[in-house]
Structure 1
Amino acid sequence: MPNLVLGVSGSVAAYRAADLARDLMRAGFSVRVCLTDAAERFVTPDLFEALTGQPCLTDVFDEPERGRMAHIDWARQADVLLIAPATASTLNNLAAGIADDMLTTLALAYEGPVIVAPAMNPSMFLDPTTQKSLRELRERAVLVIEPAEGDVACGESGQGKLAANSRIVEFTVESHRRLGRLKGKTILLTTGPTHEAIDSVRFVGNRSSGKMGAAIAQAAQMMGANLRIVSGPSEAPLPRLAQIVRVDSAREMLEAGLGMADGVDAILGVAAVADFRPKSPFEGKIRREGKPMIIEFEPNPDVLAALAEKAGPDARAIGFAAEPTPDTEAAEEKIRRKGLYALAINDISRRDIGFGADENELTLLFQDGRKLHCPKAPKLLCAFWLLENVFD
C-alpha cells in the first residue's frame, strides 16, 4: 500500500481535506496528515487521526516516536506528498525553499513526487508572485492541479476554488501509477512555436503556447525518462533537470535537434513548426511607405522527419497535428510520408482545447492502423496518457 502524506494549509477549503483523506484511503493509499498552524483554525488533528488511524503532525517539534525526527521519517517513508488545499503562502514558501513550519520543513526534506492543489482568492491566485512561484514549482517537476472557476468563500468569483475531490484523487492515483514507467528511456522533445524573421523586428509565428509540450516534459520526467528538449519561444515552464536548448526558427530547431538525436528511444515532435519562412529577411526594420508589400516565402525543412531519420529505425517518432478540422486520411498519409510510429491529432478549432488552453483532447493514430482517443482532460493527464500508450 503506497504511503501518502496529505498536507493541509490554512484555506477555508481545509474542511474538504477530511473527505479527501478518506477518498484517498478508499483509492488504496495509506494516509498521514500534516497541518499548518492556519489549517488548525479550520480543522483539528483529532479529526484526521480519527479518520486515518495515523498520527497528525502540526508542529516542527512533533515526535510521534520519541527520539525520531518526524519530518525526516515521514519524508523518507512517503511515496507521494499531496498538499491540498495549498494557500498562496504555502506555495510561495515552497518555491522559495522556506521551511518555517512542519509542512514546508517536511516538503523540503522530501525527494519524491509532489502534487499541489491551490485554493485562494482569484486575485491572490493571479498575483504575479503566486504565478511566479507556480512556474518555479513546475520547473522543479511539482505537479499542479489547477483550481476551478467559480464563487469563492469571500464572495468573489474567478479561478481559485479547490479542484473537486474526485479530480484530486484521480490525478493523484494516475500520477502515482505511472511513476518510473520510463526509467532508462531517453526522449527528444521539440516544443513551442517557431518564429521566422521578416525583418529585425517582425516575424511570422503561430499561436502555440508550448503548454502541451511542457506537460509532456513534466510527465516524462516524473515517469523517469531522460529528457532532451529543443524549445521554440515559449514561457511554458520546462523541467530544470532536462537538457534544454532554446531556439527561434525552424532551421535552428533542426540544427539543435540533430545534435541531440543520437541514442534516443523516442522523438516527440510537439513543436508547432512554421511550414514556410520569408525567403529574404530584411536587415533592419521595414518602414511603412503606404505601398503594398509582397513577401516571398520558401519551405522550411521537415524537422521531425529529419530527426527521425537521424535517430534511426529503433527510435519511435511521434508527431503532433494541430488541425481545425481533423482529417484521418491526411493524418495516415503524414504517418507514411514522415515514417512516424504514431501521430497525435488535436482540434484547434475548439477554444476549450486549442492553442493556449489548459485542457486538451487527443486522437492517437499508429502506423499499424490502431486508433486511440483521449477524452478532454488537463494537458498533464493527456501527457501521461500519450506517453503510456506510446511506450506500451
Structure 2
Amino acid sequence: MKGKNVVLAVTGGIASYKAANLTSQLVQKGANVKVMMTESAQKFVTPLTFQALSRGPVYVDTFTEPEPEKIAHIDVADWADVIIIAPATANIIAKLAQGIADDFVTTSLLATKAAVYIAPAMNVHMYEHPAVQRNMALLRQDGFSFIEGEEGYLACGWVGKGRMAEPEVILDVLDKHFNRSQLLQGKKVVITAGPTQEKIDPVRYFTNQSSGKMGYAIAEAAKQLGAEVTLISGPTSLQYPSGVKVVAITSAEEMYHAVDEAFTHSDILIKAAAVADYTPKVVYDQKRKKQQDEWSIEMERTVDILQTISTKKSPSQVIVGFAAESEKVVEYAKKKLEKKNLDLIVANNISEVGSGFKGDTNQITIIHRNGEMKPFPLLSKQEAAFRILEETMLYMKKVH
C-alpha cells in the first residue's frame, strides 16, 4: 500500500472508533490517507483525532474550500486510488443506493471513479431489514464491494451480524486490491463475449439473450491486471473497453476462426460468449416472403469451439469455459469441463434472480480441473470478473 492514495469515509456509528485505528495502520503501511466525515460521525469522534492520525486535513463540509483553485470534494474524488466507507451505516448505504448527494461524503462518492469498499456497521435487525438488504444489492449491482464483519456482540446489546470488520480484515482486502494490478503482467489473454447471429436471410437470424456484459467485464478486469487483452465480441450494445484489442464477429463460424487465430500466441482463453450450437443449413440470398403453409428450417451443428481449440492447446496454455445452466448446474458444468478438456469452468444458474444474461450481477461457482469448487455469493459482474481471473492465475501457479 506504500504510496497509494486512500480516502476513508467515516459515518455516524459507534464503530467509528475502529476507523481511527484503521487510519493509523494505513499510515504506518505507507499509504497517503485523506479522511472525510459526516456530521453524525463527528458526534462520536472529533475531526482532530483523524487529523492527528492521518497527518492531513479532515473534510467535513461541502462548502468549505481551503484551496480556491480546487473544488474540494471533486479533488478528493479524483485523488483517490480507493475509497473505504468504515463504518458504513444504514443511512449512508441508503443514500448511495439512491444517488443522494447532500454532504461532503456523498458528493465525493458520487464523483469518484475509484473502487469503493463498504464496511457495514449497524444493529443486526437493521442489517437484516429488507430495505437495507435491497440497498446493498443495488450497490453491488453498481460495482461497490462490501467488507462484511463477523457475527458478535453489538453495542446495542444484541449478538449477531452487523459488526464492522476489524481494521486488519480491511487492510488485508486493500492489500489484495492493490496486488491485483500486477496479477496478469506479461500474460496474453483472449476473451470471447456476447451472442452470435446465425443468418437465415438478409433480414432474419437466430441469436440468444447474451448481453456480453460478463465477457466485457472480464476484458476490462484483465486489462487492469496488466494483461495484453484480445476481446472477440459478437454483436452487443456495449462500448468497447479502452486499451483492449477488439475483434468484432457475427456468426459462430467467424468466432471460431477468430479464436483459433488469436489463441495460438496467447496464454489464457476465457470463453464467456454464448455461441450458437446450430446454424441454418440453407441461407437465402433474398428475403423469404410469407407463405400460406408452415416454414421449417433445417439446422446443422456449428463447430464446437471449446472442444476443438482444447485439442490444440499446449501444456502452458489455460482454457476457461462457462456453463450457463437452468438446472443441475454443477453436475452439467463438471461434465462440460471433462468433455471439453477445460482447465476451469465457471458455472452459473441463469434461472436464479440476479444471475445470468443481461443483468449486472452474477452468482458463480468456479470449478477446477482437479474437482476443487469455489462458490461465490451474488457479485457485481465486475467483481466476478476479478474472481475468475484470480482463480485462473491460482490454477496456473499450481499446475505450472
CA RMSD of aligned residues (A): 4.4
- CA 1:353–1:329 in structure 2 vs 1: closer, same or farther (change >3 Å)? closer
Partner Cα distance (1:251, 1:266) in 2: 21
On the 8 A contact 1:263/1:311 being kept in 2, the answer is no
Q: 1:164-243 residue pairs with structure 2 within 5 A? A: 166=147, 174-243=176-245
Secondary structure of the equivalent of 2:308?
A: helix
Q: 1:200-349 residue pairs with structure 2 within 5 A? A: 200-349=202-351
TM-score (norm 1): 0.67
Secondary structure of the equivalent of 2:265?
A: coil
Identity, % of aligned positions: 27
The one-letter code matched in structure 1 to 2:7 is L
Partner Cα distance (1:100, 1:209) in 2: 40
On the 8 A contact 1:21/1:52 being kept in 2, the answer is no
The one-letter code matched in structure 2 to 1:223 is L
Deviation, 1:234, is 2.0
Residue deviations 1:88-128 (CA, integer Å, cap 9, x gap): xxxxxxxxxxx963565677788xx5679996685999xxx
On the 8 A contact 2:24/2:53 being kept in 1, the answer is no
Give unpaired runs (5+ residues) of structure 1. Answer: 64-98, 126-133, 153-157
Equivalent residue, structure 1, for 2:7:
6
The one-letter code matched in structure 1 to 2:56 is P
Partner Cα distance (1:106, 1:52) in 2: 18
Deviation, 1:367, is 2.2
On the 8 A contact 2:23/2:54 being kept in 1, the answer is no
On the 8 A contact 2:8/2:83 being kept in 1, the answer is no
On the 8 A contact 2:35/2:57 being kept in 1, the answer is yes
Give unpaired runs (5+ residues) of structure 2. Answer: 86-92, 102-109, 119-129, 149-164, 395-400
Partner Cα distance (1:375, 1:40) in 2: 30
Deviation, 1:205, is 1.2
The one-letter code matched in structure 1 to 2:51 is A
Q: 1:25-64 residue pairs with structure 2 within 5 A? A: 25=22, 29-30=26-27, 32-33=33-34, 46=47, 49-50=50-51, 52-56=53-57, 62=67
Residue deviations 1:350-375 (CA, integer Å, cap 9, x gap): 13212122222222222222222222
TM-score (norm 2): 0.66
The one-letter code matched in structure 1 to 2:370 is D
Residue deviations 1:311-343 (CA, integer Å, cap 9, x gap): 433211111010001344443332233221111
What is the aligned counterpart of 1:101 among 66, 71, 74?
71
- CA 1:357–1:300 in structure 2 vs 1: closer, same or farther (change >3 Å)? same
Partner Cα distance (2:256, 2:241) in 1: 21
Residue deviations 1:134-189 (CA, integer Å, cap 9, x gap): 9xx99xxx65789xxx989xxxxx96899687479697665334221121111111
On the 8 A contact 1:308/1:315 being kept in 2, the answer is no
Q: 1:60-209 residue pairs with structure 2 within 5 A? A: 62=67, 101=71, 104=74, 143=115, 166=147, 174-209=176-211
Of stretches 46-55 and 200-209 in structure 1, the one that deviates more from structure 2 is 46-55
Partner Cα distance (1:357, 1:48) in 2: 43
On the 8 A contact 2:23/2:33 being kept in 1, the answer is no
The one-letter code matched in structure 2 to 1:306 is T
- CA 1:274–1:172 in structure 2 vs 1: closer, same or farther (change >3 Å)? farther
The one-letter code matched in structure 2 to 1:326 is K
Greater Rg over alpha carbons, structure: 2
Equivalent residue, structure 1, for 2:397:
none
On the 8 A contact 1:258/1:310 being kept in 2, the answer is no
On the 8 A contact 1:208/1:272 being kept in 2, the answer is yes
